[in-house]
């Protein structure tokens, strides 16, 4: 992640701001991604797009990914864990 050298004039911070997402939230990137997701995220850090630190779990309810040569459906990708440093996809069923 690229460091940003910017000091806001007002220091607004988020402390465990909880977002409950779904049940009809869609993640769409035309021709590549189309998923319905639900889950809960907690946001922490300074209120700046590059400094907010999300943490939580999103569940992919249904949808698909088209990677040109490979298609992956809900059976391959079920959960996405989001932490402060990385996002990961867990291919196991809960």
The pLDDT tens digits of the residues spanning 17-29 come to 999 998 889 989 8
Residue 91 scores a pLDDT above 60: no
Q: Which helix (H) or strand (E) holds 51?
A: none
Q: Would you state the pLDDT for residue 85?
A: 46
In 6-84, beta strands by DSSP E: 13-29, 33-46, 53-67, 70-73, 79-82
- At 93 the pLDDT is 44
What is the pTM for the complete model shown?
A: 0.58
Give the model confidence (pLDDT) of 47-85 as tens digits. Answer: 888 888 999 998 888 888 777 656 566 555 555 665 554
């Amino acid at each position: 992640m690229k460091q940003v050298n910017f000091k806001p004039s007002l220091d607004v911070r988020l402390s465990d701001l909880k977002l409950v997402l779904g049940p009809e939230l869609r993640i769409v990137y035309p021709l590549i991604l189309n998923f319905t997701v639900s889950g809960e995220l907690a946001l922490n850090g300074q209120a700046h797009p590059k400094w907010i630190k999300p943490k939580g779990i999103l569940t992919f309810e249904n949808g698909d990914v088209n990677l040109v040569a490979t298609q992956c459906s809900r059976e391959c990708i079920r959960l996405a864990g989001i932490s402060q440093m990385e996002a990961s996809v867990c291919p196991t069923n809960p």
